[in-house]
Amino acid sequence: MTHKTSARDVVNAIKDVDFPAGKDDLVQAAGRSGASQDVVKALRGIPAEQYANREEVARSVRVDPDSDLGTSPAQQAEQARAGGRRGQSQHLREVPKPPVEEELDR
pLDDT in tens, 2-59: 457 777 888 899 999 999 999 999 999 999 999 999 899 889 888 888 999 888 888 7
Q: Is the pLDDT of residue 92 over 80?
A: no
**What is the spatial distance between Cα 80 and Cα 71, in angstroms, rounded to a whole number?**
12
97 pLDDT band, cuts 50/70/90, is confident
Mean predicted confidence (pLDDT) in 85-102: 64
pLDDT for 67: 55
Q: Is the pLDDT of residue 94 over 90?
A: no
Q: Which long-range contacts (CB under 8 A, 24 or more apart) does 87-90 make?
A: 87/46, 87/47, 87/49, 87/60, 88/47, 88/59, 88/60, 89/59, 89/60, 89/61, 89/62, 89/63
